[in-house]
Amino acid sequence: MSLSLHTVGPSDGSPHTHTIIFLHGRDSEAKEFASEFFESEASGPDADRTLTALFPTTRWVFPQAKALRSERFDRDMSQWFDMWSLEDLQEGSELQVQGLRSSVGRVIKTINEEERLIPRDRIFLGGISQGFATALAVLFADGRGGFAGICGFCSWLPLADEVTTIIREHDPLERLTSLKRLYLGDTKSEQGPPALVHQLLSTPILLQHSRDDDTISVENGERMRHILGQIGFGREWYDYDDGGHWVNEPQGVDDLVRFLKTAMEKT
């Protein structure tokens, strides 16, 4: 079953050249998040410095997370996977696995549907907070790479302790197979490593985090950056003094715009 989607763009009269699939955070809604996200502005002389104005040929796709039961708060809430604590992201990791794998499978279906419209190398995958944690899991579970880029804000690597164990116990190629299995839950078949390992590891990655983020501490983002480096990914990392649990303005938006434009020029 596919996810419900909120889509924006391309602008009227503009061709569809790229797609950005962007996952909202926990306890949020796709349409509401998109509206707030598009209020963020880059610097510069243009009268309209919003992302929709700067990228008129881009189709933005915002999947909607399902309402899942929160064990801690004893209520249903919009989330990609349940979790016990934002202070200790590994606490209650057993609560995270089922929902995460389910969401990963649904996002992969969304990607496959988008590939009917545009080639994979023109598709970006991104998210904020728990949304980007899920997007990273999708990157490993999908296993093929080939995206135009991956961009994430104020986030972390889900099941990071399990990932560090995989890194320690497996050689580089076996790691990718084990990570695919960790996030996809495919234990029925022994699939080898992705056919194009270089294509996966060469995926451009942008990571941003504000040091005054009191929801997800910047240390979690730094650990994510470090682990991705251990696996073999290159990544652009930007931290900012302020911005809270959101996108820093205008510098963070400027860095995102530059990242997207650089990647788009290659396709």
Read off the pLDDT of each residue in 29-55 and give the average, rounded to a whole number.
93
> Which strand (E) or helix (H) includes residue 206?
strand 205-210
Instruction: Answer yes or no: pTM beyond 0.85.
Output: yes
Give the CA diameter of the chain: 56
Read off the pLDDT of each residue in 193-219 and give the average, rounded to a whole number.
90
Output the pLDDT for position 73. 86
Output the pLDDT for position 143. 92
The answer to which of 36-50, 105-119, 253-267 has the lowest mean pLDDT is 36-50
Output the pLDDT for position 161. 95
248, 242 in Cβ contact below 8 A?
Answer: yes
Read off the pLDDT of each residue in 230-255 and give the average, rounded to a whole number.
97
Is pLDDT at 193 greater than 80 in this prediction?
A: no
Tokens of 104: 């990963």
198 or 263: which leads in pLDDT = 263
φ, ψ (nearest 5 deg) of residue 94? -65, -25
Q: What is the DSSP letter of 120?
A: G
Going along the chain from its start, the domains and CATH numbers come out as: 5-264 (3.40.50.1820)
Region for residue 156 given its phi and psi (left: phi exceeds 0; alpha: psi -120 to 50; beta: otherwise): beta
Tokens of 207: 């990571």
192 or 117: which leads in pLDDT = 117
Output the pLDDT for position 85. 78
End-to-end Cα separation, the chain, in angstroms: 30
